[in-house]
Amino acid sequence: MGSVTDVAMEKGTLAQRKPTVVFVLGGPGSGKGTQCDKIVQHFGFTHISTGDLLRDEIRSGSENGTMIQRMMKEGKMVPPELTIKLLQKAMQECGNDKLLIDGFPRNEENRAAYEAVIKIEPKLVLFLDCSEEEMERRLLNRNQGREDDNIETIRKRFKVFKESTLPVIEYYNSKGKVRKIDAGKPSDEVFEDIKFFFTSTCGNIKHSCCVIL
């Protein structure tokens, strides 16, 4: 696995492009993937799922993939250097210069690594706020066959979100970048709120790249 420094040496083209970045954060089951799909359809985004990239790494049978699989089963965070490497590769390979990054940064380590390596401050942070009861119901009902969709792992993920991701949201809120959305409502109603915040803050964005973690 390459170091953050190694990744930084590869970032030239991304830095030159200076893409617009929007983060989407929320707990497991808050609807980040669903809402990103709606943004893709409504605003013409390109959609790249870094969550899928992690699962692809698992399926590759690599040493990193085995480590990722173990950590996901335990509800733990993937090491920031690996996450940044996969994320940056997806951002570089996307031909679009407006990026919607979903579920990242998940903790302060991710945020610090992102700022140190990629150095592109988000224009906006959408926070999908949803109760644990509703998120748990959604995760147990979605039947995607994912190993991390069992009750024990789900509750571990909730704990990690509260302890690790909420401080990131608070950090960006202190910079005036967070827009909090009630994600417990029906998805179409949630999207109406997202459209309002998205267009009022990023009204000039018409074609973008969505990166989901």
Q: Model confidence over 60-74: pLDDT tens digits? A: 999 989 999 998 888
- 3 band by pLDDT with thresholds 50, 70 and 90: very low
Q: Which fold has domain 4-212?
A: Rossmann fold (3.40.50)
Whole-structure pTM value: 0.82
Over residues 99-132, the pLDDT tens digits come to: 888 888 989 999 999 999 988 899 899 999 999 9
Residue 195, C-beta contacts closer than 8 angstroms, at least 6 positions apart: 42
Q: Where are the domains of the chain?
A: 4-212
Instruction: Please indicate if the annotation marks 103 as binding a ligand.
Output: yes
Average pLDDT, the chain: 83
Instruction: Please indicate if the annotation marks 145 as binding a ligand.
Output: no
Instruction: Please indicate if the annotation marks 95 as binding a ligand.
Output: no
What percentage of the chain reaches a pLDDT higher than 90? Answer: 41
Instruction: Please indicate if the annotation marks 32 as binding a ligand.
Output: yes
Residue 83, C-beta contacts closer than 8 angstroms, at least 6 positions apart: 50, 54, 104, 106, 110, 113, 213
Instruction: Please indicate if the annotation marks 146 as binding a ligand.
Output: yes
* pLDDT value of residue 144: 60
Instruction: Please indicate if the annotation marks 61 as binding a ligand.
Output: no
- 75 band by pLDDT with thresholds 50, 70 and 90: confident
Burial (Cβ within 10 Å: 0-12, 13-18, ≥19) of residue 176: exposed
